[in-house]
Amino acid sequence: MTLSSPFASALEEVLRPDQISVAEEDLQTFAIDQGPVTDYQEPLAVVWAETIAEVQSVVRLAAEYTVPLVTRGAGTGVSGGAHATVGSVVLNLTRMNKILEINAADEIARVEPGVINGDLNAVAAEHGLMFAPDPASYKISTIGGNIATNAGGLRCAKYGVTRDAVLALDVVLADGTLIRTGHRTFKGVAGYDLTSLFVGSEGTLGVVVGATVRLKYLPTIVRTLAVFFPSVQAAAAGVLALGTARVQPCILELLDGPSLTELDFRNGSNLSTRGTALLLIQFDGLAAEQEEALAATALEALGGTISREDPAEAQRLVDLRRNNRGLDVDAQNRVGEDVAVPRSQLVHYITALEEMARRHGVDLQVIAHAGDGNLHPTFSVPTFEPAGIAALNAALDESIDKALELGGTITGEHGIGQYKLRWLALEQSAEVLAIQRHIKALFDPQGILNPGKAIPA
Amino acid sequence: MTLSSPFASALEEVLRPDQISVAEEDLQTFAIDQGPVTDYQEPLAVVWAETIAEVQSVVRLAAEYTVPLVTRGAGTGVSGGAHATVGSVVLNLTRMNKILEINAADEIARVEPGVINGDLNAVAAEHGLMFAPDPASYKISTIGGNIATNAGGLRCAKYGVTRDAVLALDVVLADGTLIRTGHRTFKGVAGYDLTSLFVGSEGTLGVVVGATVRLKYLPTIVRTLAVFFPSVQAAAAGVLALGTARVQPCILELLDGPSLTELDFRNGSNLSTRGTALLLIQFDGLAAEQEEALAATALEALGGTISREDPAEAQRLVDLRRNNRGLDVDAQNRVGEDVAVPRSQLVHYITALEEMARRHGVDLQVIAHAGDGNLHPTFSVPTFEPAGIAALNAALDESIDKALELGGTITGEHGIGQYKLRWLALEQSAEVLAIQRHIKALFDPQGILNPGKAIPA
Ligand SMILES: Cc1cc2nc3c(=O)[nH]c(=O)nc-3n(C[C@H](O)[C@H](O)[C@H](O)COP(=O)(O)OP(=O)(O)OC[C@H]3O[C@@H](n4cnc5c(N)ncnc54)[C@H](O)[C@@H]3O)c2cc1C
Ligand SMILES: Cc1cc2nc3c(=O)[nH]c(=O)nc-3n(C[C@H](O)[C@H](O)[C@H](O)COP(=O)(O)OP(=O)(O)OC[C@H]3O[C@@H](n4cnc5c(N)ncnc54)[C@H](O)[C@@H]3O)c2cc1C
């Protein structure tokens, strides 16, 4: 887009100058999210909509001029879902950041899409409530992005993923029409479940411009256990033991040895001297203390060393874990995976990962939302040499095959985006992929909404 | 269908004689479910598929001969979703009733669609697990039917509805293709959420021939409270008070005076002498006792009279409630509604219902899954006279309008089926209805899967 293109002139009629940028700095900033980049493209422009009407106008113009739109929240996605594509305009929603309503009696909130997850939680907390989905990025990611990716998080072992928290959506369709799906009530079964269809659709079916979400009680009692194990396999076995003990942690994170070493290196902690693997466990609610005791008994029997953390230290550990993606953005030589396996397969899968990493000569760190069987193995090589990158990719491919072989999925919570498209056909049949393409065509016949993402073209 | 029609001959080639019936008795039995009947139609035939391959064959023939198929589980639906329609064949899945797998470590089960909810729960209980969705019909309804209606139940206040318990589905599409949606893992975000699209689609998008469901821990500690109130409004206020007390009942049922009187009449109990309205509350899990105490304090402060039930009496009360639909099948002069409102509106809504009933001169009983704001008001008149039926329908229409006015939905859990079609356009916009029709056309271009149900033609 040059400023003199007809599309640009049309945009300038519906937005103020400070809502449109073609400055090189902006084009670079908003060209990519935090996922691996395989096909770097700068957008033609970045636009900041501030109202639903403005989103409608932008979408209508994109439809009229057949310009691809990449909707963007905070850009913290790690699958390249918000990467710009050829000839696209980035539709940035971060200025639509108003919390429209908190209704404590009904335990719901209505928000604009650009509201930061942590900001909603801060306001909800004043009412003793919380928005349960808590991706580790909760301090920076938007509710719109959480919805578009069906984000998980640490406490979804107990409280469910984003889809479980979304009651109704306001969505601008590919022709600019505004619709409302779902209901303000906790339950409702009128018509097909369009809300769930938009949740996790990564900006390819419509632009989420508003959401009614369900809030849960903010627990007042929280107990945290750090349990160190002599091996990552023993820690993974601990996850099953907690199941057998019938306790339901709100957080159940597994960190392997290399992850502990890296955390120590970054934070000056001494975790790696205390064991080879760590289960970080949090219980909340009125039974937290009883559950903690049951868990401790079960895990000690497996050889775990229990360290009951005082609240401050516990919070620090959870924060360390949350920030563990840290500064390293994914790159060609460092890819954080996001597979999930049935929980009984955690031990086998981690063993297989370690063997793969050794064989391919790549580095491996494993952290997992273990309560859900959702693993984030990170493979890396200390080089950009083709041979190293090839080894990394071979390990990645094999890790995906193995997860599928064990009954797993190629993405537990991060989404397919752009980066994981190459593996989708390994998980889903040609018939299922065809249905998805038909759904995409139904909602977006011109293919202007985030093309080349979420499902294969 | 006469036995000599080409379609019939083709059916006879893929099914044994005992899998096809045109006997008048069967046609009558399987012509309707338990919903109100407005357009009685007998099916041409009833067929019992026993395998996925047989379902595929039947669907392929239906497609070839353009014969409408009404898929049927136990026929306990109350919205007419399984009512036969003109020229239809009923595809009965009750013989596909095998539990294929219970995996206690992974906390999942795989079942055929005709498995009775209560049977799955009985087997799961041997592993200390449960299939949480428990429609009051759990002893007789099928998992396939529960999925197709996204059934709720008593304990979904705490444990969620059927959709929350379904991980993966095997579905036969309208052309006979078999697909698998979803994943065996707790989490997964690959592709659009087709699983949720089929859940609640009432047999109009595909035939569910298998399901992988998530199981939850079967609580060992259960406490039940019956709290009697001087008015139904006070009881409804109690629901909000429990929220403020931050306790999470697994069961929270509200019964008004006329409901108590009817229960007493049927069961020889004395509930109606103990108060004008009842909240029946169950807590489960390790904190059940603490939650019970908090609840009692909160409700006594509102004028509730607490009766802590011994386990046997408590179970009897819950069973009474579960069986409360009882023997009276819905009829032209008795219609059980299924609206939901935001919880803060329960008091206002019930007051409005009572006023409506008085004004129209119809009888009213209200029971509610109050924790979810999901009400089942039953309107009835002791006559089939046109004037009485007209008054009943006027009250029904008004009750729907009022629920919507208060931010509610026209169906919390029973589905639109055939009976509630007339109200759907009051809740959903023309654009949303159009999308639903397009989705229907995408999955079932010939319109052979349960036509005239769930969404307006
Ligand atoms: C440090 C870190 C930790 C993380 N931890 C987790 C975690 O624990 N769990 C987890 O699930 N993810 C995690 N993520 C990934 C990421 O934060 C989530 O996917 C998050 O939901 C993205 O939100 P966002 O606002 O940044 O969206 P973006 O990255 O801007 O967009 C993500 C996708 O959603 C689309 N989109 C965004 N907003 C809208 C909208 N309003 N309408 C339609 N489409 C839209 C975009 O087109 C894109 O496809 C983490 C990321 C980082 C950097
Ligand atoms: C006494 C009583 C109490 C009830 N309590 C509740 C309650 O608490 N909560 C609640 O939600 N409901 C309740 N119901 C309603 C009913 O039991 C539920 O809707 C139940 O899920 C229906 O299951 P079914 O096997 O009887 O299905 P059916 O009535 O046979 O069918 C229901 C719908 O699903 C479709 N269908 C059935 N099986 C399949 C399949 N395998 N594939 C595709 N489509 C299929 C049918 O075409 C129809 O549209 C109650 C009903 C009664 C009679």
The CA B321 to ligand 2 mean position distance, Å, reads 18
Decide if pLDDT at B4 tops 80. Answer: no
pLDDT at B1: 52
Would you list the DSSP string of A316-376? HHHHHHHGGGTT---BTTEEE--EE--GGGHHHHHHHHHHHHHHHT-EEEEEEEGGGTEEE
pLDDT at A406: 98
pLDDT at B3: 53
Which of B179, B187, B427 is facing A152, going by the closest CB pair?
A: B187
Q: What's this model's pTM, rounded to 2 decimal places?
A: 0.97
pLDDT tens profile A395-415:
999 999 999 999 999 999 999
CATH of B99-217, one of 3.40.718.10, 3.10.129.10, 3.30.465.10, 3.60.150.10: 3.30.465.10
- Shortest Cα–Cα distance, A182 to chain B (Å): 9
ipTM reported for the complex, 2 dp:
0.96
Decide if pLDDT at B455 tops 90. Answer: yes
Indicate the pLDDT class of residue B325, thresholds 50, 70 and 90: low
Domain boundaries, chain A: 5-92, 99-217, 222-324, 334-416
Indicate the pLDDT class of residue B328, thresholds 50, 70 and 90: low
Indicate the pLDDT class of residue B267, thresholds 50, 70 and 90: confident
* Ligand with minimal distance to A412 CA: 1
pLDDT at A324: 66
Do B99-217 and B5-92 fall under one CATH topology?
A: no
A312 touches chain B (CB under 8 A): no
Which of A190, A199, A240 is facing B424, going by the closest CB pair?
A: A190
Q: For residues B433-447, give the mean pLDDT.
A: 98
Considering the segment(s) A222-324 as one domain, its CATH architecture is 2-Layer Sandwich (3.30)
pLDDT tens profile B225-243:
999 999 999 999 999 999 9
Does the Cβ of A76 fall within 6 Å of ligand 1?
yes
pLDDT tens profile B212-222:
999 999 998 99
Q: Whose CA is nearest to atom 37 of ligand 1?
A: A145
Nearest CA in chain A to B442: A438
Indicate the pLDDT class of residue A316, thresholds 50, 70 and 90: confident
Q: Which amino acid is at A96?
A: M
Q: For residues A236-258, give the mean pLDDT.
A: 95
pLDDT at A4: 63
Return mean pLDDT, chain A: 95
Which bin fits A50, alpha (ψ -120 to 50), beta or left (φ > 0)? Answer: alpha
Burial bucket for residue A245 (CB in 10 Å: 0-12, 13-18, 19+): middle
User: Of A262, A254, A263, nearest to A231 (Cα)?
Assistant: A254
Would you list the DSSP string of A239-262? HHHHHHTT---SEEEEE-HHHHHH
**CA distances to A362, A397, B416 from A355, in Å:** 10, 14, 53
- Shortest Cα–Cα distance, B340 to chain A (Å): 6
Contact between B172 and B184 under an 8 Å Cβ cutoff? The reply is: no
Indicate the pLDDT class of residue B308, thresholds 50, 70 and 90: confident
**Best of B189, B201, B426 to disrupt the A interface by mutation (most A CBs within 10 Å)?**
B189
Instruction: Tell me which CATH code domain A5-92 carries.
Output: 3.30.43.10
Which of B106, B190, B369 is facing A428, going by the closest CB pair?
A: B190
Nearest CA in chain A to B181: A432
Mutate to test the pocket of ligand 1, among A76, A98, A117 (most ligand atoms within 8 A of CB): A76
Neighbours of B370 (CB within 10 A): 28
Q: Whose CA is nearest to atom 45 of ligand 1?
A: A203
* List of residues 6+ apart from B389 with CB closer than 8 A: B332, B333, B381, B383
Contact between B440 and B192 under an 8 Å Cβ cutoff? The reply is: no
Distance CA B249, CA B227 (A): 13
User: Which atom of ligand 2 is least distant from the CA of B325?
Assistant: 1
Decide if pLDDT at A430 tops 70. Answer: yes
The CA A52 to ligand 1 mean position distance, Å, reads 20
Residue B319, H or E segment: helix B311-322
Decide if pLDDT at A303 tops 90. Answer: yes
Distance CA B381, CA B326 (A): 17
B372 touches chain A (CB under 8 A): yes
pLDDT at B8: 93
Q: Residues of B numbered 30-89 whose beta carbons fall under 8 angstroms of chain A's beta carbons: which are they?
A: none
Distance CA A357, CA A396 (A): 9
Q: Which two tokens stand for residue B252?
A: 């929270």
What is the number of CB-based contacts under 8 A between chain A and chain B? 239
Considering the segment(s) A334-416 as one domain, its CATH architecture is 2-Layer Sandwich (3.30)
Distance CA A354, CA B205 (A): 43
The CA A121 to ligand 1 mean position distance, Å, reads 17
Decide if pLDDT at A321 tops 80. Answer: yes
Q: For residues B188-211, give the mean pLDDT.
A: 98
Distance CA B40, CA A123 (A): 54
The CA A307 to ligand 1 mean position distance, Å, reads 33
pLDDT tens profile A107-166:
999 999 999 999 999 999 999 999 999 999 999 999 999 999 999 999 998 999 999 999
Q: Do B342 and A185 count as a contact with CB atoms less than 8 A apart?
A: yes
Decide if pLDDT at A1 tops 70. Answer: no
Q: Residues of B numbered 163-202 whose beta carbons fall under 8 angstroms of chain A's beta carbons: which are they?
A: 163-164, 173, 177, 179-181, 183-194, 196-197, 199-201
Nearest CA in chain B to A149: B189
B344 touches chain A (CB under 8 A): yes
Return mean pLDDT, chain B: 95
Q: What percent of chain B has pLDDT over 70?
A: 98
- Shortest Cα–Cα distance, B246 to chain A (Å): 6
